[in-house]
Amino acid sequence: MDLIPKPDQVVSAASNVAHQLFYGGLADLRPMARTLVDEGPQRQVYHYRPSATARPQGDPVLLVTPLAAPAICFDLRRGCSLVEHLVEQGRPTYLVEYGGVAFRDRNLGMEHWVDEVLPRAIEEASAHAGGRPVHVVGWSLGGIFALLAAADRPDLPIASLSAVGSPTDVSLVPLVAPLRPLLELTGGRGLVTRTYRAVGAAPVPLVRWAFQLSSFQKLVTKPLAVATHLDDADFLAQLEAVDRFTDQMSAYPGRSFGQLYHRFIKGNALVGGSMELGGRTISLSAITAPVLVLAGATDGIAPVAAVRAVLPHLSGSREPRFEIVPGGHLGMLTGRAARTSTWAVLDEWVDEWSGAAVVPPRKRAAARKKAPAKKAAPRKKAASKEAIGANPTRRYGSGGSRALSR
């Protein structure tokens, strides 16, 4: 709204306020229709019902949620839902989520998700889609899980892998870097360690507080942002959806949180490109699938440098790529600007790798030994100059990223 609102702005603001008061909000929070196709311990794999108007196209997409975050991160609200976007394009769309965390789950470590949940979800999505390879899209810690699972199991039917806002060098996270020397002083016996061991999980208030702290400035200025956007129904609807997302955060299992806290926050385990898990070493260089790495221009939880740090470790990938898109940690995935930036990049990426043959690593290595050395023919690229990878200097602007709804 202008400093001195115009008549039409006053009318729009009054309408929006009335709608919030009498109807409970402006956001269309109806979830996209889906069907459960597989389940197990902390694993529910859903298939989203195809659109009645879109022609089916491409290989299936599997969306991977992080621990503690609700699966609505991918289906935030109508008009700002990655699920809705994929389904309306005719893409077979699947999602894996983990259910609530109880005290009985306190002994579950990260290896449960890397060894069991993710590989099974990928295999089930592939089988349900007729045996086609799967485009795996993981956000935040979901991206880390996807990278580790793909590195540990190169035989999985993965067409491509996309890690969205997934930091691998936490020393470059501004919120964490100043605290790491202090965390070492307690020798692993600090308040955080004692709390999650006693409770059996990282409490929900702690998880919610950590997420909100990354956007502290936006949180403080939220009342002003609302007041100055009372005439913008889409802006207000996005705020409602983000508030619902934050309210539905859940706890981390105690052992998983302990691994994240000690290995990632304190130990920066993946900075070298490998980590010990379940009695063996998993190296990201073992990933053979194409990997797309996306960083948010204003992400406080996973800054650009912390996300970009994974690139030198993807030496085994058929094609690693990196893009910067506008938005913070959630905004880059499902903010209003994501419609024309992040989703456009994902669309190009999935289109490029749909239909590509997934050759098992052993057969690929054997073929290299038998075949005479020759110069590889260039793979066909999209004709557009804006095609992903065709313009290495392309970066999406982030001038509007200050908004809470971004």
- Tens of pLDDT, residue by residue over 324-357, are 999 999 999 999 999 999 999 999 999 999 976 5
Q: How many CA atoms lie within 13 A of 173 on its CB side?
A: 25
pTM here?
0.77
Question: Any idea of the CA torsion for 332, 79, 396, 394, to the nearest 10 degrees?
Answer: 110
- The residues pairing with 280 across neighbouring beta strands, listed in sequence order, are 277
161 assigned to some structural domain: yes
Q: Is 381 exposed, middle or buried (0-12, 13-18, 19+ CB in 10 A)?
A: exposed
Residue 209 has a pLDDT of 47
Residue 289 domain-assigned (yes or no):
yes
Determine, yes or no, domain membership for 313.
yes
pLDDT in tens, 137-193: 999 999 999 999 999 999 999 999 999 999 999 888 876 544 444 445 455 455 444
Could you tell me if residue 215 is inside a domain?
yes
Q: What is the pLDDT of residues 234-275, one digit of tens each?
A: 788 888 899 898 888 776 665 667 777 777 777 888 999 999
For the stretch 91-118, pLDDT in tens is 999 999 987 766 566 677 788 889 999 9
Q: How many angstroms separate the CA atoms of 168 and 141, rounded? A: 10
Average pLDDT for 81-85: 97
Say if 401 falls within a structural domain. no
pLDDT at 220: 45
Q: Domain of 31?
A: 7-354
Whether residue 364 lies inside any domain: the answer is no
Closest CA to 147 of 292, 295, 322, 343: 292
Cα angle at 302 between 299 and 304, to 5 degrees? 75
39 closest CA partner among 154, 128, 137: 128
pLDDT at 398: 38
Share of the chain above pLDDT 90, in %: 47
* CA-CA-CA-CA torsion sign (72, 353, 129, 286): negative
Cα–Cα separations (whole angstroms), residue 107 to 66, 200, 258, 260, 280: 18, 8, 10, 14, 19
Q: Give the gyration radius of the chain's Cα atoms.
A: 22
User: Do residues 33 and 68 make contact, with C-beta atoms less than 8 angstroms apart?
Assistant: no
Q: Which of 90, 89, 113 is nearest to 40 (CA)?
A: 113
For residue 26, name the pLDDT band (cuts at 50, 70, 90): confident
pLDDT value at position 101? 65
Q: Are 299 and 165 in contact (CB under 8 A)?
A: yes
DSSP code of residue 72:
G
- Domain assignment present for residue 47? The answer is yes
CA 6/CA 17 separation, integer angstroms: 17
| Structural domain count, the chain | 1
In whole angstroms, give the CA distance from residue 358 to residue 39. Answer: 26
- Both tokens of residue 296? 């948010």
Taking the C-alpha atoms of residue 229 and residue 223, their distance in angstroms, rounded to an integer, is 10
Binning pLDDT at 50, 70 and 90, where does residue 373 land? very low
Residue 380 included in any domain: no
Determine the average pLDDT of the residues in 310-319.
96
Structure tokens at 297: 């221009």
Q: Check residue 226 and give its pLDDT.
A: 57
C-beta of residue 406 within 8 angstroms of C-beta of residue 335: yes
Of 98, 197, 101, 139, which Cα lies nearest the Cα of 332? 139
Across-strand partners of 43?
Answer: 40
Question: CATH number, domain at 176?
Answer: 3.40.50.1820
Q: How far apart are the C-alpha atoms of 60 and 122, rounded to whole Å? A: 10
